[in-house]
């Protein structure tokens, strides 16, 4: 059995790389007096901050909508002869509506306890009276920057923890000649940042190859983020990938981080890429080309650095010709193509995979199983495996549960001979058996093309994809 140890070694080396230094903190300064802006600019620039200035409430709001800041230092009065601070207090509330995580420190030459209390009530993190003390001002800015970064990191970690994803280095079990080219390509292109399109029938192991590519990349220290494009409806697709802000739609009761933000400096795996709605493909193309996007309901442009690995069982050239997939998007996705052979074309790997799944499931169910009887192994070698490695996995799991002794017997596998379902009586089959049989027939008829099979069965692609998962196909 060949488990890609060379991939593990490379992943281990990459995991020791020093993380990239984060960008300089971004500070927004707002005041209607140019000399105040210049004094603050000189003071803060010397501390290594990236600065942006505004001289009016409208300028502040435009800046906050356009990009993300680590702290905002704003005046409370902008109209000449106004000392109430009402302009700044209203501006503060509007800033909180745009970005609740942005720390705002307010400034005024007309300081009073009442204005300070009201500013804090409306969300200000601190209060500075002009003329300021340089040391105190710098201490406040540094503290608020650290706080905002901690809050945003916490939100990101919370969103990451809500994702279901596999941990650890995946093992690619392959000795067959058909798989050697796959292993070589993974070893060569995995460490790069090239976008990769993984092709193959359902159940061939496209997800395992994607995880192996991520594990040998320079991004391996961060988790790979997975999007099942076939399981995301068109109505929530944009929110799922790009996130949304509170109030963007009826149920948007809080800001949400999208998958692209979660995958910043990491890898985004777009499984079943052919199922991306045509109406959303232009937005996907834009973020792949430029790294820029906006959360749903927001006009603020965000930037990410994401490596894209996508996978599909469909023929994307046919999808392009049919007008269901953009050709320019295909060009962006398939810098490198990796085609995974079906299990029937790599039969030398069947015994290795079967033993691997046997150990895995025997440990899970606490059963003492050591191997297969000769007849059982012969049955595994002769089966056509239309569901590929995933079907083999499910067959071995069933055998582990059913086997009474230390060896798996042919009857424990529960494999049907080819054509058995068609010769059995319909009334003897369960509703699930009939549905599974019809789906298999449609998938075989259309050479594994989910879109065409779904159309023939009268289902949406996402509905068919859910059934394929349910039946282990």
Integer Cα distance of 280 and 258 in angstroms: 15
Integer Cα distance of 87 and 71 in angstroms: 19
User: Looking at residue 157, what is its pLDDT?
Assistant: 61
Q: Would you say 54 and 72 are in contact if contact means Cβ atoms under 8 Å apart?
A: no
Residue 257 backbone dihedrals phi, psi, to 5 degrees: -85, 130
Integer Cα distance of 386 and 163 in angstroms: 30
User: Looking at residue 419, what is its pLDDT?
Assistant: 43
Domains parsed from the chain with CATH numbers? 26-156 (3.40.50.2300), 164-339 (3.40.50.300), 344-415 (1.10.8.60), 417-473 (1.10.10.60)
What is the torsion angle, in degrees rounded to the nearest 10, for the CA atoms of residue 10, residue 12, residue 16 and residue 20? 60
Instruction: Give burial (CB, 10 Å; 0-12/13-18/19+) of 252.
Output: middle
Triad 148, 298, 96: Cα angle to 5°:
40
Question: Residue 27: helix, strand or coil by DSSP?
Answer: strand
Q: Residue 315: which residues within 8 A CB-CB, separation 6 or more? A: 449
Question: Residue 268: helix, strand or coil by DSSP?
Answer: strand
Q: Provide Rg for the chain, Cα atoms.
A: 29
User: Looking at residue 85, what is its pLDDT?
Assistant: 72
Tokens 């990769």 — which residue?
A: 196
pLDDT tens for the chain, 473 residues: list them.
333 444 444 434 443 333 333 457 889 998 888 888 888 888 888 888 888 999 888 888 888 888 888 899 988 887 655 667 788 888 888 887 788 778 888 887 765 667 777 777 778 888 888 888 888 889 888 888 887 777 777 666 655 554 434 444 456 888 888 898 899 899 899 999 999 999 999 899 999 999 999 988 989 888 899 998 877 877 788 888 998 888 888 777 888 889 999 999 999 999 999 989 898 899 999 999 999 999 988 888 999 999 999 999 999 999 999 999 999 999 999 999 999 999 999 988 999 999 999 999 999 999 988 899 888 998 999 898 988 999 999 999 999 999 998 899 998 998 865 444 444 455 556 666 777 878 888 887 777 777 888 888 888 877 787 777 766 66
User: Looking at residue 292, what is its pLDDT?
Assistant: 93
What are the residue ranges of helices labelled H in 230-339?
234-242, 259-262, 278-290, 316-321, 327-333
């Amino acid at each position: 059995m060949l488990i890609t140890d060379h991939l593990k070694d490379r992943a281990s080396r990459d995991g020791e790389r020093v993380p990239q230094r984060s960008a300089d903190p971004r500070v927004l300064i707002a005041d209607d007096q140019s000399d105040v802006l210049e004094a603050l600019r000189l003071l803060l620039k010397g501390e290594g901050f990236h600065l942006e200035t505004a001289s009016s409430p409208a300028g502040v709001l435009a800046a906050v909508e356009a990009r993300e800041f680590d702290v905002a230092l704003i005046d409370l009065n902008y109209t000449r002869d106004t000392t109430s601070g009402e302009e700044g207090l209203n501006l503060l509330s509007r800033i909180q509506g745009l970005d609740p995580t942005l720390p705002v420190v307010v400034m005024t030459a007309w300081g009073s306890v009442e204005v300070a209390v009201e500013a804090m009530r409306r969300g200000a993190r601190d209060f500075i009276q002009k003329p300021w003390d340089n040391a105190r001002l710098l201490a406040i800015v540094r503290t608020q920057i650290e706080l905002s970064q901690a809050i945003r990191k916490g939100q990101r970690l919370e969103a990451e923890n809500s994702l279901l994803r596999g941990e650890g280095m995946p093992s690619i079990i392959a000795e067959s000649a058909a798989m050697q080219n796959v292993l070589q390509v993974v070893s060569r292109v995995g460490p790069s940042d090239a976008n990769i399109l993984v092709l193959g029938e359902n159940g061939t192991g496209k997800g395992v190859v994607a995880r192996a590519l991520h594990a040998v990349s320079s991004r391996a220290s961060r988790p790979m983020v997975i999007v099942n494009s076939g399981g995301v409806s068109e109505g929530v697709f944009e929110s799922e990938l790009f996130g949304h802000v509170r109030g963007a739609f009826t149920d948007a009761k809080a800001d949400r981080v999208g998958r692209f933000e979660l995958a910043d400096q990491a890898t985004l795996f777009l499984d079943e890429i052919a199922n991306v709605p045509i109406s959303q493909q232009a937005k996907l193309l834009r973020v792949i080309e430029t790294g820029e996007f906006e959360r749903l309901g927001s006009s603020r442009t965000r930037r990410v650095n994401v490596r894209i690995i996508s996978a599909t069982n469909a023929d994307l050239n046919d999808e392009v010709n049919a007008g269901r997939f953009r050709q320019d998007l295909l060009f962006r996705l398939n810098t490198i193509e990796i085609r995974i052979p079906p299990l029937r074309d790599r039969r030398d790997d069947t015994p290795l995979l079967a033993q691997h799944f046997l150990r895995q499931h025997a440990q899970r169910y606490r059963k003492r199983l050591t191997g297969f009887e000769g007849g059982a192994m012969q049955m595994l070698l002769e089966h056509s495996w239309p569901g590929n490695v995933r079907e083999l996995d499910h067959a071995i799991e069933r055998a582990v549960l059913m086997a009474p002794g230390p060896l798996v017997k042919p009857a424990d596998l529960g494999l049907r001979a080819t054509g058995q379902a068609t010769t059995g009586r319909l009334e003897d089959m369960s509703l699930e058996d009939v549905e599974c049989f019809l789906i298999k027939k449609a998938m075989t008829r259309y050479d594994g093309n989910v879109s065409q099979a779904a159309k023939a069965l009268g289902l949406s692609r996402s509905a068919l994809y859910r059934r394929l998962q349910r039946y282990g196909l």
